Amino acid sequence: MQSSFDSAFSVASQDGNGSIETPKPVPGGPTIEFTGYSTFVIGSSKKFLYAMTTGFSAIRVYSFFGPGVQLQTGQQFLPKDTSRPLNSINVDPTERFLYLVESPGIIEQFSVDKSAGTLTNGVVVTEPNADLRMTVITPSGKFLFGNDLTLGRIFAYAIGSNGALSPVTGSPFAVPAGGQPTRLAMDSTGQYLYASLLTDGVAAFKIDGSTGSLVDVPGSPFLTSGQPSGIAVSSSNFVYITSSVAVDGFKADAVGTLSPVSGSPFQLSSSSPIVDATGQFLYVIGSNSTIYGFKIDPTSGAFNAISGSPFTSVQNPWLLTPLKIP
């Protein structure tokens, strides 16, 4: 699924070789905010899409239906304080809880009725002097992490049975070398957290599965070819970073240390990297409204262009999201 700067939604089908068709508009798709972060999220049930609405501090819920991919507008839900700008949105792996990052330094929790798609306001966490932009949640649903861009910190929380957030001991955790974390990504097992940095580089942390605390991976941060514009992690724990000059690929060893994969960096101005649901293909937004596709070597993490790449995209795409439809 793609979204463009005009806030339109489109969907492109993928075949077994990784080729993608020309995107088609999604009927009934939302008009959403552009913040540079995740302004919409799809629940694990694949029944609902939750989006931050343009011009309003609100969340609109859309339901999926066929044939193909169509969206039906549902209810709108408001945060407790509608005067605050919204930064990003996220849903936990069970689709029981939704988290909204608001400025300045606020994470608001909602309970989700995933049979109806309705939201109920929950607990609000406020971090004084923090510049929180986005969140990631472990696959277990036990912990949530948020990036403090300005002060170079990662806030960590335990998620309670009711979705409420409790600070992890030691939180916030400083990013090494004074780095400022722009975006966060996590491996599929929830063992490692990665943060792209405002200046060249990516920081890596080992997550304690019991406590949620973070420890720097040996050698972190790791140099990238340029200032990162996006980060994605494959199911085999290969890390891919886009920038205005190249796509960098890394492989994590047994302790999480990153080393470049063969053929990296791939010289290409790019953004919004994603790995598809199978973990076999990497896609990035290139210049001239195109999507570049790469086949990922399952052993080395090396990535090679798919036949037919680059593929036609919508005009001015800004965000790619993988969507596996049963």
To the question of pTM greater than 0.85 for the whole model, the response is yes
Distance CA 152, CA 112 (A): 31
With beta carbons less than 8 A apart as the criterion, state whether 51 and 28 touch: no
With beta carbons less than 8 A apart as the criterion, state whether 3 and 40 touch: yes
User: Per-residue confidence of the chain (326 residues) as pLDDT tens digits?
Assistant: 455 444 677 888 899 999 999 888 888 877 666 677 888 899 999 999 999 886 668 999 999 888 778 889 889 999 999 999 899 999 999 999 999 999 989 999 999 998 999 999 999 999 999 999 999 999 999 999 999 999 999 999 999 999 999 999 999 999 999 999 999 999 999 999 999 999 889 999 999 999 999 999 999 999 999 999 999 999 889 999 999 999 999 999 999 999 999 999 999 999 999 999 889 999 999 988 899 999 999 999 999 999 999 998 888 888 888 877 66
pLDDT at res. 5: 44
pLDDT at res. 272: 92
Distance CA 246, CA 263 (A): 11
pLDDT at res. 68: 78
Cβ neighbours for 260, distance < 8 A, ≥ 6 positions apart:
248, 249, 250, 251
pLDDT at res. 6: 47
Furthest-apart CA atoms within the chain: distance in Å = 51
In sign, the C-alpha dihedral spanning 92, 97, 102, 107 is negative
Nearest CA to 285 out of 233, 227, 235, 243 is that of 243
Cβ neighbours for 301, distance < 8 A, ≥ 6 positions apart:
234, 236, 238, 249, 250, 251, 261
**Residue carrying structure tokens 């019991």:** 210
pLDDT at res. 317: 84
- The three-class DSSP label of residue 178 is helix
